[in-house]
Structure 1
Amino acid sequence: MTHPSTLSHRPATATDLPTIVTFPQDANELFFAYPKANWPLSVGQLAASMAERRDSTVVVSEGRVAGFANFYQWQHGDFCALGNLMVAPWARGQGVAHYLVAVMERLAREHYKATRMKVSCFNANSAGLLLYPKLGYLLDGIVERRDPQGARVALVQFGKALKAETAA
């Protein structure tokens, strides 16, 4: 596992897009991260998503873009909803998602005064289902959705209260 001190983050830029679109390894992974996208993920699709979302952020590990996420909903003083969370295949299992979720929680508090973060995860995304409860997210609900083939899937919704940052 990469030590979090070797990870950094910054706002995503247009030059990051060709790298980020390679993160989903198949249509299922793309569906988990970006359900409205068509396989394979293109720079155009990701740019369109970033244009309608907020705080698109990348994690950098050893000089390489290792993760990406943004907010697809934001309500000032209330909540932010995490979206498009993707980790590069070479960086998986190294704490990138943990680090990125913590960064996005901080951005939600700082930029939107959010008191709650919402995340959603499809039932077949075992990595996500295991990650979010470990980070303190609690089950909010389960709603029915359809996958690209029209099959019924469960979208598992989690939430977490964001505590105010305390001055050190």
Structure 2
Amino acid sequence: MITVSKPHRLSQRPAEERDLLTVATFVRSANELFYCYPKASWPLTPAQIADAISNRRDSTVVLLNNEVVGFANFYQWKTGVYCALGNVMVSPNTRGQGVARYLVQVMEERARTHQQARRMRLSCFNGNTAGLLLYSQLGYDPYAIVEREAPDGQRVALIQMDKAL
């Protein structure tokens, strides 16, 4: 297991085609895939990630000692107004060690600098406890709850959150 003991060991860069196979391994179940990429079908493939990248902005990877351990992008943006964070994925070997926190903060900075965004939006399903706790700790506040249907047909709540940048 990889241990993130010093935050300065983390770095980031734009996602590249060579990263896609690694990123596809971050999702361990259909349920996890639903949380991070609801439109994708299980199992996640590099082609599905490539499709997301082609329709989104600022696809970014986080590296730990030059190994890809995180991925995210913006699925909506309005220059000068907001960016919506999506496809947040972290390697199972580094979860709970600050990678997701670093990734969200990197994406906040990209929203400010690349899109001149004043706000960051994101959506998190009610069953994604780790995500909800992280986003709350980072200052995101809920502003709406939307009903969605999980792959198994169950009703779920999509909690929409945002934060001033």
TM-score range, shorter chain: over 0.9
Report the TM-score, using the length of structure 2 for normalisation.
0.96
Partner in structure 1 of residue 123 of structure 2:
120
Deviating beyond 4 angstroms after TM superposition, the runs of 4 or more aligned structure 1 residues are none
Q: How far off is 1:63 after superposition?
A: 1.9
User: Are 2:107 and 1:104 equivalent residues in the alignment?
Assistant: yes
Distance 1:98 1:53 in 2: 21
Q: 2:49 is aligned with what amino acid?
A: L
Contact 1:16–1:65 (8 Å) recurs in 2? yes
Report the TM-score, using the length of structure 1 for normalisation.
0.94
Q: How far off is 1:2 after superposition?
A: 3.1
Contact 1:140–1:157 (8 Å) recurs in 2? yes
Q: How far off is 1:27 after superposition?
A: 0.5
Distance 1:81 1:4 in 2: 25
Q: How far off is 1:148 after superposition?
A: 1.2
* Percent of matched pairs sharing the same residue: 59
Counterpart mapping for 1:43-122 below 5 A: 43-122=46-125
SS of the equivalent of 1:32 reads helix
Aligned residues: 162
- Aligned-pair RMSD on alpha carbons? 0.8
Q: How far off is 1:71 after superposition?
A: 0.1
Q: How far off is 1:150 after superposition?
A: 2.0
Distance 1:64 1:92 in 2: 14
User: Are 2:135 and 1:138 equivalent residues in the alignment?
Assistant: no
Partner in structure 2 of residue 166 of structure 1:
none
Distance 1:120 1:146 in 2: 14
Contact 1:2–1:95 (8 Å) recurs in 2? no
